[in-house]
């Protein structure tokens, strides 16, 4: 696989041509700048090769102009349940006084809502100056789309103006190459935020109360889920629990939250990463997918899954599980077990205990948590911003974010108020005058909203600061990194080559039809049998040309040396 991905990087400079052919017609105390080191055990970047975009060795930051520059930045929030920083945030004041920039930060939603917001701005030729490319497929697809529309600008010249940030954020040629089209750097590709960070967890206190063993197979998991639903595991005398909770993440089919379910049948992703040859294609065409869907339907008919999974969003899900609704769920390790998040559950259930759950085995012994092909967030600069001469200001802002002042302020807040530095230079909250002002306290989340997207580098000291152990209400040690390391070391299918796949012209219609029918089959509003399934597959090909998308995708991956011809 390493060899394959070296080939990917070497061929990415020409993939722009392939894509066009296949795509639709107070301040923080300065301390030494953080170093960058990939956090083990789950690196995501392809092997480093010679960069395809050359950055001069001695770039010089741009001078600050006399007139303030207005910059509007759209980026996802690190905490989706918290707002943006208030207008009187000290960071805005420093950016205005030191960089001569009036920064306006707008939170762009995740998933389909974020893509819809971005598409609406693009259609009105009203993209912000600097923004995160949000897509329900891949961010690279969104960059290709906006490039074809002539709405974004190359950023090669801006890289020359930010030598510090290039070293700390844009130092992986393989990742940066994914933001190239026709030999030009059309996007900044940020450092990924701790890969393979989500996984399965189960209420151990419920298992113990009901005298159940830890499940290891799908059959055993169903028995446990049924008991969690029907046998009042919380002992409140109410019928208010579900064995399994989740939500649809606006991607394809089951989405990532239920990928483990289909992973037990070898088909955890839209694409068939198990068969890296001429048989590669959409997993929906494999008989194993039908079997997995039939099992998923059985769980829904038994009402052991929260029936609202197809309609609720992430924020509602994260309101429900701390209320004790679910006994099994798929969740991000930090959203589950970080000091800012865990108290929402802990205060309600002091004796409650979540523990990680291994990928359950299916009927043929297969088990995958999911498919992982993530790289960092993609950010683009609108052509309008460049035409208005805002490029140097954007570079100045990004460069400042990578300096000690910007890094600590945007990542952790104000020293002495939101954090302290220990003798080793590691951020700590121990000894703060007011613990409720700690940077990782839930009430402080709004002040560091773009830390995961634009600030953090996964330096070991940083990771130690971000995810410290702490004590629960009843004195147990809660270790976020225990959950992360467990999740990251579960079986995952490598799908990094999926970054190269180009959306078909009718992607929106194809995805809508696919998801509507998947949910109808899963929820029982459409019969699931050989005839109805065959009709569904035929329509995918005859009316929506899914087979043509498969063919063009195979060619792209074969030409990149990923698939055997």
Question: What are the structural domains, with CATH classification, of the chain?
Answer: 65-194+375-458 (3.40.190.10), 198-373+475-496 (3.40.190.10)
Per-residue tens of pLDDT for the chain, all 565 residues: 434 443 444 344 333 333 333 333 333 333 333 333 333 333 333 332 323 333 433 344 445 567 899 999 999 999 988 999 999 999 999 999 999 999 999 999 998 999 999 999 999 999 999 999 999 888 999 999 999 999 999 999 999 999 999 999 999 998 999 999 999 999 999 988 888 999 999 999 999 999 999 999 999 999 999 999 999 999 999 999 999 999 999 999 999 999 999 999 999 999 999 999 999 999 999 999 999 999 999 999 999 999 999 999 999 999 999 999 999 999 999 999 999 899 999 999 999 999 999 999 999 999 999 999 878 999 999 999 999 999 999 999 999 999 999 999 999 999 999 999 999 999 999 999 999 999 999 899 999 999 999 999 999 999 999 999 999 999 999 999 999 999 999 999 999 899 899 999 999 999 999 999 999 999 999 999 999 999 999 999 999 999 999 999 999 999 988 998 7
Burial class (CB in 10 A: 0-12, 13-18, 19+), 276: middle
Distances (CA, A) of 168 to 126, 130, 150, 398: 31, 19, 29, 11
State CA 433 to chain mean position distance. 34
On whether the CB atoms of residues 269 and 493 are closer than 8 A, the answer is: yes
Distance CA 158, CA 391 (A): 7
Residue 278 has what DSSP assignment?
Answer: T
Distance CA 90, CA 104 (A): 13
Residue 191 has what DSSP assignment?
Answer: P
Pick from 75, 73, 101: nearest CA to 392: 101
The answer to whether the bond into 41 is cis (omega within 30° of 0) is yes
Task: Give the relative orientation of helices 287-301 and 507-523 as an angle to the nearest 10 degrees.
Answer: 50
Contacts of 373 (CB under 8 A, 6+ apart): 494, 495, 496, 497, 498, 499
What pLDDT is stored for residue 7 in this prediction? 44
Other C-beta atoms closer than 10 Å to the C-beta of 142 total 24
What pLDDT is stored for residue 140 in this prediction? 93
Distance CA 174, CA 221 (A): 39
Distance CA 403, CA 391 (A): 19
Q: Indicate the Cα dihedral angle 196, 197, 199, 204, nearest 10°.
A: 140
What pLDDT is stored for residue 63 in this prediction? 56
354 DSSP β-pair partners? 203
Pick from 82, 65, 85, 61: nearest CA to 73: 85
528 φ/ψ sector (left φ>0, alpha ψ -120 to 50, else beta): beta
Collapse the DSSP code of 367 into the 3-class scheme (helix H, G, I; strand E, B; otherwise coil) and give the result: coil
Collapse the DSSP code of 188 into the 3-class scheme (helix H, G, I; strand E, B; otherwise coil) and give the result: strand
Sheet with 378-381, side-by-side order of all strands: 101-107, 69-75, 130-132, 378-381, 188-189
On whether the CB atoms of residues 378 and 234 are closer than 8 A, the answer is: no
């Amino acid at each position: 696989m390493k060899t394959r991905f070296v080939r990917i990087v070497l061929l990415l400079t020409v993939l722009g041509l392939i894509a066009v052919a296949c795509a639709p017609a107070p301040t923080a105390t300065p301390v030494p700048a953080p170093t960058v080191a990939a956090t083990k055990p789950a690196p995501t970047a392809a092997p480093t090769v010679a960069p395809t975009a050359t950055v001069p060795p001695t770039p010089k930051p741009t001078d600050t102009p006399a007139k303030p520059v207005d910059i509007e930045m759209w980026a996802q929030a690190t905490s989706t349940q918290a707002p943006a920083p208030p207008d009187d945030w000290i960071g805005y004041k420093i950016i205005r006084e030191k960089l001569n920039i009036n920064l306006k930060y707008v939170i762009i939603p995740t998933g389909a809502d974020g893509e819809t917001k971005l598409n609406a701005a693009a259609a009105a030729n009203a993209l912000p100056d600097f923004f995160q490319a949000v897509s329900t497929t891949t961010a690279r697809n969104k960059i290709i789309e906006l490039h074809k529309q002539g709405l974004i600008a190359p950023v090669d010249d801006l890289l020359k103006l930010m030598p510090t940030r290039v070293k700390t954020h844009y130092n992986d040629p393989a990742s940066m190459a994914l933001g190239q089209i026709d030999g030009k750097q059309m996007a900044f590709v940020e450092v990924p935020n701790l890969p393979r960070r989500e996984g399965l967890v189960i209420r151990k206190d419920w298992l113990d109360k009901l005298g159940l063993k830890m499940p290891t197979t799908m059959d055993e998991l169903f028995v446990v889920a049924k008991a969690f639903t029907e046998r009042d595991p919380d002992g409140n005398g109410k019928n208010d629990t579900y064995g399994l909770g989740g939500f649809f993440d606006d991607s394809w089919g089951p989405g990532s939250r239920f990928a483990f379910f289909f992973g037990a049948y070898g088909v955890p992703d839209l694409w068939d990463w198990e068969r890296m040859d001429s048989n590669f294609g959409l997993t929906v065409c494999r008989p194993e997918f039908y079997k997995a869907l039939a099992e998923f339907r059985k769980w829904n008919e038994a009402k052991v899954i929260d029936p609202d999974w197809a309609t609720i969003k992430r924020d509602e899900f994260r309101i429900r599980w701390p209320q004790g609704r679910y006994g099994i769920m798929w969740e991000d390790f930090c959203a589950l077990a970080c000091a800012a998040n865990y108290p929402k559950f802990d205060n309600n259930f002091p004796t409650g205990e979540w523990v990680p759950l291994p990928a359950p085995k299916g009927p043929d012994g297969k088990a995958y948590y999911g498919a992982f092909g993530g790289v960092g967030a993609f950010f683009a600069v609108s052509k309008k911003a460049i035409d208005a001469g805002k490029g140097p200001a954007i570079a100045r802002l990004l460069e400042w974010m990578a300096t000690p002042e910007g890094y600590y302020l945007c990542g952790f807040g104000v020293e002495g108020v939101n954090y302290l530095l220990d003798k080793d230079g590691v951020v700590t909250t121990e000894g703060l005058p007011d613990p409720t002002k700690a940077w990782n306290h839930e009430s402080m989340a709004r002040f560091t909203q773009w830390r995961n997207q634009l600030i953090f580098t996964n330096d070991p000291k940083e990771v130690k600061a971000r995810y410290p152990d702490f004590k629960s209400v009843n004195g147990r040690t809660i270790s976020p990194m225990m959950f992360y390391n467990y999740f990251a070391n579960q079986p995952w299918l490598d799908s990094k080559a999926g970054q190269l796949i180009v959306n078909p012209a009718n992607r929106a219609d194809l995805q809508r039809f696919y998801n509507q029918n998947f949910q109808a089959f899963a929820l029982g509003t459409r019969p699931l049998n050989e005839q109805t399934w065959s009709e569904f597959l035929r329509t995918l090909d005859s009316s929506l040309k899914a087979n043509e998308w498969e063919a063009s995708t195979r060619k792209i991956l074969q030409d990149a040396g990923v698939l055997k011809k």
